[in-house]
Amino acid sequence: MTMRKCVNSLLVAAALAFTAGCGESESAKPAEKPAAPAKTPLVQTKQAADWCKEHGVPESICTRCNDSLVAGFKAKGDWCKEHGLPESQCFACHPELEAKFKASMPAGADK
């Protein structure tokens, strides 16, 4: 009878990951992922530079490039309605911020 074995295997498989079928229960592998070798990507500098040179702020907080960030700034009360920007990025209201952001710009990000 194979039905019974199948049920048992399914129980084992379900306990493992819901993915193994009846035929795979015997080759249960340890859930060990081969560690990815820590290679240094050649284009690392490009990815490391978190900078929107168009808007002069880090790309990760650039609401003009990523408008899904807007709600977060609004929720914090960090929002300039007049200019449609986070108050903390509004160079029109806070000209000193421009220099501050420039100073924190990653090296080579403006190239």
Binding residues for Zn ion restricted to 68-97, rule: CB under 5 A? 80, 82-83, 90, 92-93
With a CB cutoff of 8 Å and minimum separation 6, the contacts of 38 are none
Q: Please report how close the Cβ of residue 104 comes to Zn ion at its closest, in angstroms.
A: 15
Per CB under 5 A, 67 contacts Zn ion: no
With a CB cutoff of 8 Å and minimum separation 6, the contacts of 29 are none
Per CB under 5 A, 62 contacts Zn ion: yes
What span, in angstroms and rounded, lies between the C-alpha atoms of 81 and 87? 9
By rule CB under 5 A, what count of residues binds Zn ion?
Answer: 12
Per CB under 5 A, 52 contacts Zn ion: yes
What span, in angstroms and rounded, lies between the C-alpha atoms of 85 and 69? 10
Which residues in this chain contact Zn ion in the complex, by CB under 5 A?
52, 54-55, 62, 64-65, 80, 82-83, 90, 92-93
